[in-house]
A = this chain, B = another copy of it.
């Protein structure tokens, strides 16, 4: 019955160094999406990798739509992952949904985190009279229906849109395969909690220094939303990655690695 957190989340600790970086993957990928970053930082840092429950590669018995009905559940898992490896004072890198997951974890355990870097993160996707998140309600409802009814066709279209026009066909194919490895009901469940989320209030309270990495032309996160996020976080900084697409750690690894290096150095200075 009882399963260790390490097993549940496929926790891996690799690399050499006292400084710890935690990489948290976004929707449709798993920890393997960080291979470029692992290669760049494993000689100088201890690296914690894990998979969110429900991702391909985890035991899908651990997933239930009720247990994972909100990003808050993933942030509790993240805190358990950090406890399981006794990580403290870590630098957290979160892609997409893992931006807000890290933020929520940082609200309750700020002392766990020396700094955070969000790639393609958004506190709110839907448009409303007072906010332009980028998506209309009817488009989102259409999206849910498409995933439910035409999962395979949706995956290839979504992969192309997410990777952006500048990605190679191979990158698109990889991400598409990764999406297709998801169980369709889990994919739509997770997409739903992401697109329905609204963390505009919570981000005003995060005390951890944070770098918002905003790709140019990210279909999921309009530049204005990334700028809003950076401006609203009490210690937010924005950095642009001159690349299209929602997964620049895969499609523009060198640029992203440089931004991570810079943020690591800045947060080490601030902590010293």
Contacts and interface: CB of A to CB of B under 8 A. Distances in A.
Nearest to A202: B67
A76 interface: yes
- Please tell me how many copies of the chain the complex holds: 2
Interface string A75-108: 1100110010000000000000000000010011
A3 to B, nearest CB: 7
Interface residues of A, number: 30
A72 interface: yes
A200 B1 contact: yes
Interface string A97-139: 0000000100111000000000000000000000000000000
Interface stretch (A9-17, A146-154, A190-198, A240-248): A190-198
Interface string A57-69: 0000010101111
Interface of A: 1-3, 62, 64, 66-70, 72-73, 75-76, 79-80, 83, 104, 107-109, 193, 196-198, 200-201, 204-205, 232
> Top 7 nearest A-B pairs by Cβ distance?
A2-B204, A69-B69, A69-B70, A79-B108, A72-B73, A66-B196, A72-B72
22 contacts: A1-B200, A1-B204, A1-B232, A2-B205, A62-B201, A64-B198, A66-B198, A67-B70, A67-B72, A68-B70, A70-B70, A70-B73, A72-B72, A72-B73, A72-B75, A75-B76, A76-B104, A76-B108, A79-B108, A80-B107, A80-B108, A83-B108
Given A66-B70, A69-B193, 5 more contacts: A3-B201, A62-B201, A66-B198, A67-B72, A70-B70
